[in-house]
């Protein structure tokens, strides 16, 4: 065999009994270089022992850990959060209890919010004495009659509304009655803290909190799918100043109504938009149709001479009219039987600047005759005078009355040059006016804060620059003189047009408009003020033209808002020094 | 052999009992913490609701009209007029320097101007 077999006296020694299995140590075999088969029992024992030790070790470990945690030395939540050991989905994110998102102005001031309230309903199957319950409820809600409550309580049903939006005090009083069958349903009520101030912009919601007008309707999905507040480009303080000025103006001039829009000239962002009369959206009362009508975005009207701004811009842009050209306005212009005259009767040679300053219809007609109707139509289309501004975030917008190509005659071309024969909304006018003075880029108007719009060029930088000079002249020596606020280089154009009623012009009623921008050197803001049927008075010397009503209102507005908007006043430095010196001397 | 077996049994029993006791204590502690957590969550939710209502109330009390009335009644302040906003260069002292150097002299000038404007 080549190796020695030791005999032992016993199993542990060297002696083997006859027939007993001779065990040769594996190590001896291995030392001699023989291959051996492993002993299964030994392997099994070895592995069992190993597993047992492992289990004991793990069990002991578990014990230690449990003891350690029990002694209060487990996971420290604060440290775990700080070390980001807790996954984001494990951290509870608390949600605002109200489902409809708040609406904020550009400075984060709440202008519409929702408050959690409850509705009271009856499960009439559980109510035994309906008349007694009706009597008790009538004491808590005196605005609802006993008969009404009784009628509702006598109906058979498990869910009959008795009163919506209870105050906490009312809820407690009903609870204290302890009547089975009177139950509450959680709900929320839309609140407008500033009442009438944003009525036409925000609109309203119905009793089920669904938007039915204004931003509430247009952005209903956004407001209900995300609780993040919606920021509007409006400014609470500015809106209030402008509304106050309009309300005062309507009172002073006994007008039917008024509207105003303030816009950032270089972005199209609306900072204030108001139309009076208005309504309090918190009250679910029936309001007059006129108060519900948003004239600023839906009032389609003939703007009159304000259109001369666009006429002059398009004529200069065409290159066929130069800023130095002169036009003979001494004679009327005839189109068949129709003739174009000047109400003021200037009867002299006018430059494009004079035409704007004196608001000459004849001058505007002569200008456009040099350019032609094709270019005029194309230009007006480029400044969106032919289409509804559907991208604007209010559902209350309107399509302008823009004649078809077939009906666009030479006479139409002439009347449109001074603002008749085309009807648009104040929103259309202010957007187009901003484009003319801001360097020539048209931006779609928007109410959502910081909504970006690339814009499209409609006039050249040079034309825009020229237009600013001309419009400044209207304020320094033209019909807009009363809007000349010192230091702010206001520019603008007035327009007064007879009101169109049932297809006929009513010469006793007019709509006056003043569209303005400031400052001339770097136009930042544009403002349109529209007065619907202002009346003549002693103060206006019997006039109802824009220069006597819309212009002074604009002056009041710009005087108040320009410092609020941080517009740098361009005063003469010597004049300023004299003011400071005077202050020192005091 | 028997003593080893005995020791093993005792070890296992000790470990099992320790784990059982520990688990029980742990469960109890977790239940207490969960109750606390629920209570805290409820309070946070209530606080969020209260803050929301308070914000609405704050907005209601801060309407420009109300603030103007209060300001007119309580303060001697008026709206800033365009001519009151002046350039630095119109001042009688160098504002930029006074702003950076904290010079007493320059501040004196500013104080005088503020007093004059207040008057």
> Does residue B96 belong to any structural domain of this protein?
yes
> Does residue B102 belong to any structural domain of this protein?
yes
Q: Which residues pair with A528 in a beta bridge?
A: A261, A515
At residue B49, the pLDDT reads 87
Cβ of B59 and A109 within 8 Å? yes
For residues A305 and A11, the model is more confident at: A305
Phi (first) and psi of residue A163, to 5 degrees? -160, 135
Give me the domain span that covers residue B108: 89-119
**Residue A390: which region, alpha, beta or left (left: phi > 0; alpha: psi -120 to 50)?**
alpha
> How far is residue B70's CA from residue B60's CA, in Å, rounded to a whole number?
14
At residue B103, the pLDDT reads 47
Report pLDDT digits (tens) over A529-565.
999 999 988 887 878 888 889 999 999 999 999 988 9
> Does residue B10 belong to any structural domain of this protein?
no
Cβ of B79 and A237 within 8 Å? no
Cβ of A563 and B25 within 8 Å? no
B43, closest residue in chain A (CA to CA): A94
The residue-averaged pLDDT of A355-383 equals 94
User: Which 8-state DSSP code applies to residue A232?
Assistant: B
CA distances, A233 to each of A103, A126, A239, A418, A446 (Å): 11, 52, 11, 32, 8
> Does residue B67 belong to any structural domain of this protein?
no
> How far is residue A99's CA from residue A96's CA, in Å, rounded to a whole number?
7
Give kind and range of the element (H or E) at residue A494: strand A491-501
Contacts of A237 in chain B (CB under 8 A): 64
Cβ of B44 and A191 within 8 Å? no
Residue pair A102/A229 in contact (Cβ under 8 Å)? The answer is yes
**A:75-104 residues touching chain B, CB 8 A cutoff:** 92, 94, 96-98
CB atoms < 10 A from the CB of A220, how many? Answer: 17
Report pLDDT digits (tens) over A41-100.
888 888 898 998 898 899 888 888 888 887 777 667 667 667 766 666 666 667 777 889
A64, A70, A72, A78 alpha-carbon torsion, rounded to 10°: 90
> Does residue B106 belong to any structural domain of this protein?
yes
**A:513-572 residues touching chain B, CB 8 A cutoff:** 559-560, 562-563, 568-569, 571
At residue A176, the pLDDT reads 93
Instruction: Tabulate helix, strand, coil % of chain A (nearest 5).
Output: 40, 20, 40
The residue-averaged pLDDT of A292-306 equals 94
> How far is residue A254's CA from residue A544's CA, in Å, rounded to a whole number?
11
Contacts of A60 in chain B (CB under 8 A): 15
Smallest Cα distance from A78 to chain B, Å: 14
Report pLDDT digits (tens) over A228-266.
999 999 999 999 999 999 999 999 999 999 999 999 999
Q: Confidence class of residue A495 from pLDDT cuts 50, 70 and 90? A: very high
Instruction: State the DSSP string of A22-36.
Output: PPPPHHHHHHTT---
Residue pair A483/A460 in contact (Cβ under 8 Å)? The answer is no
> Does residue B61 belong to any structural domain of this protein?
no
> How far is residue A295's CA from residue A273's CA, in Å, rounded to a whole number?
10
Domains in chain A, ordered, with CATH?
Answer: 103-231 (3.90.1310.10), 251-564 (3.40.710.10)
> Does residue B74 belong to any structural domain of this protein?
no
Model ipTM over 0.85 = no
Residue with token string 């006074």: B98
> How far is residue A18's CA from residue B115's CA, in Å, rounded to a whole number?
127
At residue A64, the pLDDT reads 86
Phi (first) and psi of residue A495, to 5 degrees? -160, 130
Cβ of B19 and A59 within 8 Å? yes
Residue pairs spanning A and B at CB distance below 8 A: 120
At residue A101, the pLDDT reads 93
Mean pLDDT for all residues in chain A: 88
At residue B105, the pLDDT reads 47
> Does residue B110 belong to any structural domain of this protein?
yes
In 3D space, the residue among A411, A396, A515 whose CA is nearest the CA of residue A467 turns out to be: A515
At residue A41, the pLDDT reads 83
* Number of domains within chain B: 1
Report pLDDT digits (tens) over A258-281.
999 999 999 999 999 999 999 999
**B:63-82 residues touching chain A, CB 8 A cutoff:** 63-65, 79-82
Chain A CB within 8 Å of residue B62 CB: yes
Chain A CB within 8 Å of residue B10 CB: no
> How far is residue A112's CA from residue B56's CA, in Å, rounded to a whole number?
9
């Amino acid at each position: 065999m080549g190796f020695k077999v030791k005999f032992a006296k016993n199993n542990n020694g060297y002696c083997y009994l006859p027939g007993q299995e001779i065990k040769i140590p594996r190590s001896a075999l291995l030392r001699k270089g023989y291959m051996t088969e492993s002993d299964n029992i030994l392997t099994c024992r070895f592995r069992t022992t190993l597993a047992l030790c492992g289990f004991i070790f793990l069990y002991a470990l578990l014990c230690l850990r449990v003891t350690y945690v029990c002694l209060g030395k487990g996971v420290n939540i604060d440290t775990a959060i700080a070390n980001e050991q807790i996954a984001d989905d494990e951290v509870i994110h608390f949600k605002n209890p109200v489902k409809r998102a708040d609406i904020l102005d550009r400075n984060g001031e709440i202008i519409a919010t929702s408050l959690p309230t409850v509705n009271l309903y009856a499960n009439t199957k559980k109510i035994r004495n309906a008349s007694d319950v009706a009597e008790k409820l009538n004491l808590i809600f005196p605005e609802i009659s006993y008969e009404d409550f009784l009628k509702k309580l006598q109906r058979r049903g498990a869910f009959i509304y008795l009163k919506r939006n209870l105050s906490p005090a009312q809820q407690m009083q009903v609870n204290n009655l302890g009547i089975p069958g009177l139950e509450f349903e959680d709900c929320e009520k839309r609140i407008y803290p500033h009442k009438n101030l944003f009525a036409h912009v925000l609109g309203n919601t119905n009793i089920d909190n669904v938007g039915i007008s204004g931003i509430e309707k247009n952005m209903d999905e956004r407001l209900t799918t995300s609780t993040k507040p919606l920021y509007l480009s409006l400014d609470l303080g500015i809106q209030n100043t402008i509304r106050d000025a309009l309300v005062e103006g309507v009172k002073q001039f006994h007008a039917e109504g008024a509207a105003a829009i303030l816009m950032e000239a270089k972005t199209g962002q609306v900072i204030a938009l108001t139309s009076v009369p208005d309504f309090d959206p918190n009250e679910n009362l029936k309001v007059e149709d006129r108060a519900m009508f948003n004239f600023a975005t839906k009032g389609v009207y003939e703007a009159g001479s304000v259109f001369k701004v666009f006429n002059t811009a398009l004529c200069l842009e065409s290159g066929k009219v130069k800023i130095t050209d002169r036009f003979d306005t001494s004679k009327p212009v005839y189109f068949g039987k129709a003739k174009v005259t000047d109400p003021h009767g200037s009867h002299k040679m006018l430059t494009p600047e004079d035409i704007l300053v004196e608001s000459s219809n004849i001058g505007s007609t002569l200008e456009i005759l040099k350019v032609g109707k094709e270019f005029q139509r194309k230009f007006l289309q480029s400044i969106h005078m032919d289409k509804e501004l559907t991208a604007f975030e209010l559902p209350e917008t309107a399509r302008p009355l823009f004649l078809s190509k077939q009906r666009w005659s030479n006479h139409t071309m002439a009347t449109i040059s001074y603002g008749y024969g085309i009807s648009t909304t104040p929103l259309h006018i202010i957007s187009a006016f901003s484009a003319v003075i801001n360097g020539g880029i048209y931006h779609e108007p928007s109410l959502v804060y910081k909504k970006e719009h690339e814009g499209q060029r409609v006039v050249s930088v040079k034309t825009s620059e020229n237009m600013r000079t001309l419009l400044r002249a209207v304020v320094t020596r033209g019909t807009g003189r009363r809007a000349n606020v010192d230091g702010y280089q206001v520019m603008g154009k007035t327009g007064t047009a007879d009101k169109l009623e049932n297809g006929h012009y009513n010469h006793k009623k007019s709509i006056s408009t003043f569209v303005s921008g400031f400052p001339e050197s770097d136009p930042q803001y544009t403002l349109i003020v529209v007065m619907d049927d202002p009346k003549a008075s002693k103060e206006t010397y019997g006039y109802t033209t824009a220069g006597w009503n819309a212009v002074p209102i604009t002056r009041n507005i710009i005087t108040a808002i320009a410092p609020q908007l941080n517009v740098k006043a361009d005063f003469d430095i010597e004049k300023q020094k004299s003011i400071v010196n005077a202050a020192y001397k005091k | 052999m028997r003593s080893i077996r005995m020791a093993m049994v005792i070890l296992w029993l000790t470990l099992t009992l320790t784990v059982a006791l520990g688990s029980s204590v742990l469960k109890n502690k977790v239940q207490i913490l969960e109750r606390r957590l629920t209570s805290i969550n409820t309070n946070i939710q209530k606080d969020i609701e209260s803050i929301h209502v308070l914000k609405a109330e704050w907005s209601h009390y801060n309407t420009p009209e109300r603030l103007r009335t209060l300001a007119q009644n309580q303060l001697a302040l008026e709206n800033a007029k365009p001519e009151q906003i002046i350039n630095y260069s119109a001042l009688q002292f160098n504002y930029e320097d006074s702003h950076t150097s904290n010079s007493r002299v320059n501040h004196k000038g500013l104080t005088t101007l503020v007093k004059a404007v207040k008057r």
